Amino acid sequence: MRSPWRTPARVVPLAFFGLIVLGTGLMMLPAARADPGHAPFVTALFTAASAVCVTGLAVVDTPTYWSTFGHVLLTVLSQIGGLGIMTLATLLSLLVSRRLGLRGRLLAQAESAGLFGDNLRGILFRVATVMLVAESLIAVVLTFRFWLGYDYSFGRALWEAVFHAVQAFNNAGFALYSDSLVGFVTDPWICLPLAFGVMAGAIGFPVLFELAREWRTPGSWSTHTWLTVTGTLLFSIVGFLVFLVFEWRNPGTLGPLNTPGKILAAFTQDVMTRSGGFNSVDLGRMNSETIAVTNGLMFIGGGSASTAGGIKLTTFLLLAYVIWAEIRGEPDVVIRKRRIAEETQRQAVTVALMGVALVATGTVVLDALTENVPFDRALFEVTSAFATVGLSTGITPSLPPSAQVLLVILMYVGRVGTIAVGTAIALNTRRRQFRYPEERPLVG
């Protein structure tokens, strides 16, 4: 009898768990730490989980606490976590044996939320190519900017450019500066390449591939691509305007900047808010209104089959269409003259409600485990962890170990939970030969 633990819905979470364990062991090596001795277990665990889950939250000062070897480990773990363990393993299998069995195909499908079709080999290589080309282009721009604009040595400029390019495209958010991008808040040659890298990674490979083919004919786009593109544009505009309006006069964020600097900072932070993890302003000094909107944007996240987290844009927008259809009394949910299957609607509701439950429960537990942490700050950290965004108001390093472990769990669930749940639902779809009598409980 086939073991249930070998199904894709279970193998993928186990693979990520195994990588976190391996990463924790490597981060505990004395060579990974800048100072003598090894990192404490919780510190290594939190850092490894944050890298593998492409989150970017940190409990220590990344540039000073970890050595160059530690920074290389962060780069590798973030790259593997962003590309996907099963995707990487499948790609390596194709390179070595040039063939892949059914089980390997199912595992790759499970991890990528249905990205891979029949042409598995071609799409896998395109995924790897897009990732490497995007990271290389970002790294080239950053290298010359660091080298010529900040008088870095060429070697240092190249290394820091590669590190941040990998972090940007994978939406990981680790930085080699204690204040993240705050020191470059008005530098478009640093902020814009990283912002566009984050956007490319957060859109998702299926959308990128379809846009490359059909960018001139939006009418032929699939419903998924249309929802992702329109959702990205909509929430980009909303986030940008909210941040610009609410923080315009805030002396702790945009207040001291000139008008072009405020616009650049608002755009950069808006992009990073939804998945990137970098911050170009001090998030701990944001107004409460901005924090509230930021929580919502983080929770929604980016595109499916991308390096972004959250419940995903398509999930949120699909639920909006479900509500609109119910309000209008429509029997079907229709998007662009396409009827959405009831199974897809149930999956969206399941993912969204599980996300709400996890964030709500995590916030209550975190609040109970800590002292003198405002509830809105606790909610921000929990949402950032679950959505694998990596933004922080600055309280994460001061949290007790139990609270940090809670955030590790949320990062892990946020990275693999929606994938595992969605795949489990899809694989466990059953067709009954009968239907029970209908009942209508009161709703509302």
Q: Considering only 123-132, 287-296, 355-364, 380-389, which range has the smallest mean pLDDT?
A: 123-132
The predicted-structure confidence for 294-324, as pLDDT tens digits, reads as follows 999 999 988 877 778 888 898 999 999 999 9
Give residue 426's pLDDT. 53
Asked whether residue 430 carries a pLDDT value surpassing 70, the answer given is no
Hey, where are the domains in the chain? 4-426
Residue 200, token pair as written in the block? 């490319």
User: What dihedral do alpha carbons 307, 311, 317, 321 form, nearest 10°?
Assistant: 150
Give residue 87's pLDDT. 62
Give residue 374's pLDDT. 87
Q: What is the pTM of this model?
A: 0.87
pLDDT (average), residues 388-399: 89
Report DSSP state, residue 276.
Answer: I
Asked whether residue 168 carries a pLDDT value surpassing 60, the answer given is yes
Percent of the chain topping pLDDT 70: 84
pLDDT (average), residues 164-175: 91
Asked whether residue 289 carries a pLDDT value surpassing 60, the answer given is yes
Give residue 204's pLDDT. 80
Give the separation between CA 432 and CA 444, rounded to whole angstroms: 30
Residue 367, token pair as written in the block? 């609040």
Give residue 7's pLDDT. 56
pLDDT band at 97 (very low <50, low <70, confident <90, very high): very low
- Taken in order 234, 240, 244, 250, the sign of the CA dihedral is positive
**In whole numbers, what is the pLDDT of the chain averaged over residues?**
84
Asked whether residue 329 carries a pLDDT value surpassing 60, the answer given is yes
Asked whether residue 94 carries a pLDDT value surpassing 50, the answer given is no
Give residue 441's pLDDT. 78
Asked whether residue 16 carries a pLDDT value surpassing 90, the answer given is no
pLDDT band at 5 (very low <50, low <70, confident <90, very high): very low
pLDDT (average), residues 108-135: 67
β partners of residue 334: 339
The predicted-structure confidence for 204-247, as pLDDT tens digits, reads as follows 877 888 888 888 888 888 888 899 999 999 999 999 999 999 99
Direct distance between the N- and C-terminal alpha carbons of the chain, in angstroms, rounded to an integer:
46
The predicted-structure confidence for 240-254, as pLDDT tens digits, reads as follows 999 999 999 999 999
pLDDT band at 98 (very low <50, low <70, confident <90, very high): very low
Give the separation between CA 199 and CA 350, rounded to whole angstroms: 26
pLDDT band at 121 (very low <50, low <70, confident <90, very high): low
Give the separation between CA 305 and CA 319, rounded to whole angstroms: 19
8: phi then psi, degrees, rounded to nearest 5: -55, -40
Asked whether residue 6 carries a pLDDT value surpassing 60, the answer given is no
Query: Please, are residues 75 and 162 in contact by the beta-carbon 8 Å criterion?
Result: yes
Q: Considering only 125-129, 142-146, 412-416, which range has the smallest mean pLDDT?
A: 125-129
Asked whether residue 45 carries a pLDDT value surpassing 70, the answer given is yes
